[in-house]
Structure 1
Amino acid sequence: MTRTTVTEPVLRIENLTVAFRSGRELVTAVRDVTIRVDPGETVAIVGESGSGKSTTAAAVNRLLPENAVIVQGSVRFDGRDLTSLPETEMVRLRGAGIGLVPQDPMSNLDPLMRVGDQIAEALEVHGYTTGAGTHERVLSLLEAVGIPNADQRARQYPHEFSGGMRQRVLIAMGLACKPRLLIADEPTSALDVTVQRRVLDQLDQLTEEMGAAVFLITHDLGLAAERADRIVVMLKGDVVEEGPAAEVLRNPQHEYTRRLIDAAPSLAVRTERPQRPTPEGASAAPLVEVTDLGKVFPLRSVKRGEPDTFTAVDGVSFSIPRGSTVSIVGESGSGKSTTANLILGLEDATSGSISFDGVDLATLRRSQMFAFRRRVQPVFQNPFASLDPRYTVGESIAEPMKVHRIGDAPARRARVEALLDQVALPRAMAERLPHELSGGQRQRVAIARALALKPDLVVLDEAVSALDVLVQAQILDLLAGLQAELGLSYLFISHDLAVVRMISDHVHVMQRGRIVESGSPDQIFGDPQQAYTRELLAAIPGADLDR
């Protein structure tokens, strides 16, 4: 898109160094960073967790944690140095001059306040509108970010909105007072690709109409290359590369940038897919056979004339051959996670059947179901939520063995050490607590725990969607290696077709509870038959960029 060229930047960060107090020491998180953002320009900072990108953004609007210290440098907004500005002036500036769209809408929206009231509060705090004008502005903002029935929606609470709609509300709040600069910190990382595209299109349109500059923080290089004018690459607190987005993508100068590009599934989507060996046992009877599966949920607080049930899974049939990876993809609400929960035995099917190793799950008695759970293990999206914060890593991995009364304490300790070796974690990590680990390390612990009982099937529900691309690539390599070594079968649930293409033997596309298309990754990606599948593919950020 065409941008206005002027000499004076909206934002100029010069020689910024930020450190965190840790006991008596100062640990540097951002080191001598210099960045400029011109009016109407979108500048993206990319890098993995711990690179310093979010700390840099937080320094701009002075929302750093209490133990953070700006050691040196300046942050100038419209020529004013924000590092020395009194807090009262910063309060006036936040929202009015510098808008913010944070990452997680559920933790950044008040669950006890109506959505319209929260937007109105952002307007009135800064004196942007008052009285009847506030309500009109709230409705116009909701309509501008693509939320229909704005008058009705403004009276609802955040839990009544989908994830994509909650993110749109945050965009409306961030742009409510028409700021000169908008900081968007991982604004769509938790959204499906189609919802992400619609939200980002809306953000692009609104910021262009308002002439706002955008400071975009993301770990997705494909998204940055597609949406930004310039890219800044950060590694361990340093800026290691900077330039026009197309130039950085086509001609990366730093080894770390090249690693980010190579690891980004969205950018590799048109490259040759690695040849996967035919799974052993592929010609034998499948491990799992799903036949005409259905799940209907009752609805509460039903109004007259509205349906009193919701069909989440509708006539789904597929199989999982032994030693293979079968993926189910689709948007939120497509029924893919409900299907996974039915196979895990966490939900009871309303209709149809699930056969595991030739036995119908519906016929299993309680003791048989206990044995079944030993052979089927889950890995969920958020390892921090699935690991007990009070248990050490070793205790978390050993817990399934204790529940199933496998081995004595020394035998379990030996098994824990062997599992840590398998997932490439040091044995000393057994004594650490989950909060002392990175996201990628926690996910490896979750995988080690899932393998503790030597299962036949591992169900991975969005298991890599929240990880940085480099960590994501490491986890996918780990899963492939474990599958080859142990003969595991995987059911991989994801909304990310780019990742699915890399790891799958067979892919099923779900929409509104039904499988609408099935095939090999090459068939699904090379010759999609359904418009819905083509929409999912087109929404992958960076997939259509010329590298």
Structure 2
Amino acid sequence: MDTSSNGSVLSVRDLSVGLALPGREREILKGISFDVAPREIVGVVGASGAGKTVLSKAVVNWIDPPLAITGGTAAFRGENLLDQSPAAMRRLRRDIGYVGANPMGALDPTLTVGRQIVEKLRAVSPETSRAEAEKRVVALLDAVRIPSAKARFHDYPSQFSGGMMQRALIVDAMISNPVLLVADNVTQPLDVTVAAQVIRLMRELTERFDTAVLFVSSSLPVAREAASRILVIDEGRLVEEQPTEALIETPRHAYTRDLVTQIPVIWNAPPAEPRRAGNATPEMVIRLNDVSQTYKVRKRGSFGAVDSLRAVRNVTFDVRRGDSFAVVGESGCGKSTLMRLLSRLEKPAGGEVLCEGRDIAKLSGSELLAFRRKLQLVLQDPFGSLPPRTAIGAMLEAPLRTHGWRDPKKIREKVRDVMNDVGLPVALYDELPLGLSAGQRQRVNVARAMVLDPEILLMDETLSALDQTEQFRLLALFDKLQREHALTYIFISHDLAMVRKACNRIAVMYLGEVVELADNERLFFDPGHPYTRALLSAMPTLEERRYRPEDCLLEGEPPSPIDLPEGCAFRSRCPQAFEACARTNPLLTVRGADDLASCHLVPSPQALAARAAMLAGAT
């Protein structure tokens, strides 16, 4: 293999990138230098706006106007990519894989996902037969945990979720066994278990094919899992570079020290304070009674036949006034469907969702409008959820006008008060959201919900698109708003570190069912279900893990919600499954005053009482 003179696959020297708009010229990257050796994974971390994505594109010469490379070199195996002709770049890029942070627009919507990846593989390796290429693509789709990979091979991009598309693009980047892989925030939208599988796959790629990886991430714990060395970027400058463990143990730069201190502590923290409003009572504000949701989907290979997809199955739980309640689980577990049921975007196929004792499926007219004022939704995507051609003030005025406000002066005063409340400068009132950061955009979404003075905020992956610095700030904002406005929060999330810091009660979902319900301390220190332990074992953290991935991490894929097995749906992936699991689906069993888990290995209260009595007798 050809390498540069210093033995590196990628050698970057004094790389600078600037914004070239008249009157707005400024430096984005300032004199960045580093090397990436064969088989090395180098992490790049920093806050949003630090220049990480610009760096990841600059090193492979993908900078477009109004940005421009203003200095430096980026040598790939000794050849400066920044001096190459388009034809030479096409040749060099056969050995470079790139995965960006926004997966949804990356593939041709008119071709199936599998076909597009096969065509790329055959273009790079013409000697590969179509049958062999399809077999390799299916194997890699399965390796990154695409459910029913052989069937999903024939699906179009629109039929993939965001997380599944991210995994498909990782396969697309790795299919040709690249010499250099640039991965820009690829694990951010993924579940912790899938992210762990992806990082493991990247490590295997480096070992089997000498691939070097530039791993860009907004999360220091994630970068720690992947990289042997980490670069820290702040405001376009490389402020620190150290081996991973040395950087975490003894960060030298003040910015790096701030990153380390902002990471939620999981197991070494003091017991969490109950996160409830000041005058909270045990009053139930939301109650789900045996809620189910089933969708009809066309049976593959047929014209009119349909299958029943059971997205949510027999879910029962309460949310109390002042709670910060979390629903966690992998993609496909039913979290998003549950969100639609809680917000009355859909009606359940079975059971009932009660808000303060009233079945929300039966609300209509003014009653439904009052419910929507009481419960507001804050969505995941800070970019796609804001209309780009509407001024921020007009966005925040719209809900008030919908709910009957007519006085322009009072509307403007209310919007200004809410903007102050969520930390948005009032000067943005008449501005478009174009220049806002992801964190500022999400504050606009929070303000749009808060302008109606709701009692309940439903947060659907609200923080998952933000870097750890912005997450830290938004969590502080949520804490402030809850204290000042007596809010009840429901977090739909796959980020267990955020849940540990923000929530007092947690429901864990698997394949449409709640398999565990516990308070914060019990769930993180004494989980009752093996699936919960698997999630905790895969969680990126700077601490020593309480649960080892080698003992708990899941293999294989979940069963299809169209064809559920007999007995426990988790048994095919459970390291502790035994004969009874194949016969009977366990019910939620009480473990304590407020804790339940559905596992045959959870002892019943009667068994625990008998054991306690036996031990007391023995003494």
Q: Distance in 1 between matches of 2:111 and 2:80?
A: 35
Q: Could you tell me which residue of structure 1 aligns to residue 481 of structure 2?
A: 482
TM, length-normalised to structure 1:
0.93
When residues 296 and 152 of structure 1 are mapped into structure 2, their CA distance, relative to the original with a 3 A threshold, is closer
Q: Could you tell me which residue of structure 1 aligns to residue 184 of structure 2?
A: 185
Q: Distance in 2 between matches of 1:403 and 1:297?
A: 31
Q: Distance in 1 between matches of 2:306 and 2:133?
A: 34
When residues 167 and 289 of structure 1 are mapped into structure 2, their CA distance, relative to the original with a 3 A threshold, is closer
Q: Distance in 2 between matches of 1:202 and 1:299?
A: 32
DSSP 3-state at the match of 1:64: coil
- Tell me by how many angstroms 1:78 deviates: 1.3
Contact kept in structure 2, 1:167 and 1:187, CA below 8 Å: yes
Q: How many residues align?
A: 539
- The answer to whether 1:146 aligns with 2:142 is yes
Contact kept in structure 2, 1:145 and 1:171, CA below 8 Å: no
Q: Could you tell me which residue of structure 2 aligns to residue 286 of structure 1?
A: 284
Matches within 5 A, 1:425-436: 425-436=424-435
Contact kept in structure 1, 2:122 and 2:129, CA below 8 Å: no
When residues 22 and 373 of structure 1 are mapped into structure 2, their CA distance, relative to the original with a 3 A threshold, is same
Q: Could you tell me which residue of structure 1 aligns to residue 571 of structure 2?
A: none
Which shifted more, 177-186 or 233-242? 177-186
Contact kept in structure 1, 2:290 and 2:316, CA below 8 Å: yes
Q: Which of 98, 101, 108 lines up with 1:100 in the alignment?
A: 98
Q: Could you tell me which residue of structure 2 aligns to residue 114 of structure 1?
A: 112
In structure 2, what residue type is equivalent to 1:99?
G
Q: Could you tell me which residue of structure 1 aligns to residue 270 of structure 2?
A: 272
DSSP 3-state at the match of 2:298: coil
TM, length-normalised to structure 2:
0.82
- The answer to whether 1:133 aligns with 2:129 is yes
Flag structure 1 segments of 5+ consecutive residues without an equivalent: none
Q: Could you tell me which residue of structure 2 aligns to residue 396 of structure 1?
A: 395
Q: Could you tell me which residue of structure 2 aligns to residue 417 of structure 1?
A: 416
Q: Could you tell me which residue of structure 2 aligns to residue 298 of structure 1?
A: 296
- Tell me by how many angstroms 1:122 deviates: 2.2
In structure 1, what residue type is equivalent to 2:407?
D
Matches within 5 A, 1:451-462: 451-462=450-461
When residues 146 and 294 of structure 1 are mapped into structure 2, their CA distance, relative to the original with a 3 A threshold, is closer
- Tell me by how many angstroms 1:241 deviates: 0.6
When residues 233 and 207 of structure 1 are mapped into structure 2, their CA distance, relative to the original with a 3 A threshold, is same
Q: Distance in 2 between matches of 1:25 and 1:324?
A: 46
- Tell me by how many angstroms 1:246 deviates: 0.6
Q: Could you tell me which residue of structure 2 aligns to residue 375 of structure 1?
A: 374
- Tell me by how many angstroms 1:161 deviates: 4.5
Contact kept in structure 1, 2:344 and 2:361, CA below 8 Å: no
Q: Could you tell me which residue of structure 2 aligns to residue 85 of structure 1?
A: 84
- Tell me by how many angstroms 1:47 deviates: 0.7
Contact kept in structure 2, 1:302 and 1:308, CA below 8 Å: no
When residues 334 and 444 of structure 1 are mapped into structure 2, their CA distance, relative to the original with a 3 A threshold, is same
DSSP 3-state at the match of 1:240: strand
Contact kept in structure 2, 1:142 and 1:172, CA below 8 Å: no
Q: Distance in 2 between matches of 1:282 and 1:339?
A: 25
DSSP 3-state at the match of 1:289: strand
Q: Distance in 2 between matches of 1:510 and 1:490?
A: 18
- Tell me by how many angstroms 1:437 deviates: 1.1
Q: Distance in 1 between matches of 2:484 and 2:149?
A: 54
Q: Could you tell me which residue of structure 2 aligns to residue 254 of structure 1?
A: 253
Q: Could you tell me which residue of structure 1 aligns to residue 611 of structure 2?
A: none
Q: Could you tell me which residue of structure 2 aligns to residue 540 of structure 1?
A: 539
Write the deviation string for residues 463-506 of structure 1: whole angstroms up to 9, x where unpaired.
11110111111111101100000101111111111111111121
DSSP 3-state at the match of 2:142: coil
Q: Could you tell me which residue of structure 1 aligns to residue 555 of structure 2?
A: none
Q: Could you tell me which residue of structure 1 aligns to residue 353 of structure 2?
A: 354
Contact kept in structure 1, 2:59 and 2:74, CA below 8 Å: yes
RMSD across aligned C-alpha pairs, in angstroms?
2.4
Matches within 5 A, 1:26-45: 26-45=25-44
Matches within 5 A, 1:174-253: 174-253=173-252
Q: Distance in 1 between matches of 2:165 and 2:393?
A: 38
Q: Could you tell me which residue of structure 1 aligns to residue 616 of structure 2?
A: none
Contact kept in structure 2, 1:270 and 1:543, CA below 8 Å: no
- Tell me by how many angstroms 1:142 deviates: 3.5
Which shifted more, 465-474 or 336-345? 336-345
Q: Distance in 1 between matches of 2:529 and 2:273?
A: 25
- Tell me by how many angstroms 1:100 deviates: 1.4
- Over the matched positions of the two proteins, sequence identity in percent amounts to 36
DSSP 3-state at the match of 2:13: strand
DSSP 3-state at the match of 1:516: strand
- Tell me by how many angstroms 1:45 deviates: 0.7
Q: Could you tell me which residue of structure 2 aligns to residue 23 of structure 1?
A: 22
Q: Distance in 2 between matches of 1:278 and 1:370?
A: 26
Contact kept in structure 2, 1:269 and 1:501, CA below 8 Å: no
Q: Distance in 1 between matches of 2:267 and 2:52?
A: 26
Q: Could you tell me which residue of structure 1 aligns to residue 308 of structure 2?
A: 309
- Tell me by how many angstroms 1:81 deviates: 1.5
When residues 495 and 30 of structure 1 are mapped into structure 2, their CA distance, relative to the original with a 3 A threshold, is same
In structure 2, what residue type is equivalent to 1:493?
I
When residues 233 and 268 of structure 1 are mapped into structure 2, their CA distance, relative to the original with a 3 A threshold, is farther
Q: Could you tell me which residue of structure 2 aligns to residue 521 of structure 1?
A: 520
Q: Distance in 2 between matches of 1:314 and 1:150?
A: 24
Contact kept in structure 1, 2:509 and 2:516, CA below 8 Å: yes
When residues 37 and 302 of structure 1 are mapped into structure 2, their CA distance, relative to the original with a 3 A threshold, is closer
Contact kept in structure 1, 2:272 and 2:520, CA below 8 Å: no
In structure 2, what residue type is equivalent to 1:425?
L
- Tell me by how many angstroms 1:156 deviates: 3.9
When residues 122 and 42 of structure 1 are mapped into structure 2, their CA distance, relative to the original with a 3 A threshold, is same
Greater RCO, CA 8 A, separation 6+ = 1
When residues 446 and 168 of structure 1 are mapped into structure 2, their CA distance, relative to the original with a 3 A threshold, is closer
In structure 2, what residue type is equivalent to 1:34?
S
Q: Distance in 1 between matches of 2:543 and 2:283?
A: 39
Q: Distance in 2 between matches of 1:168 and 1:492?
A: 24
Contact kept in structure 2, 1:145 and 1:202, CA below 8 Å: no
Q: Distance in 1 between matches of 2:154 and 2:289?
A: 43
Which shifted more, 184-193 or 166-175? 166-175
In structure 2, what residue type is equivalent to 1:129?
P
Which shifted more, 514-523 or 366-375? 366-375
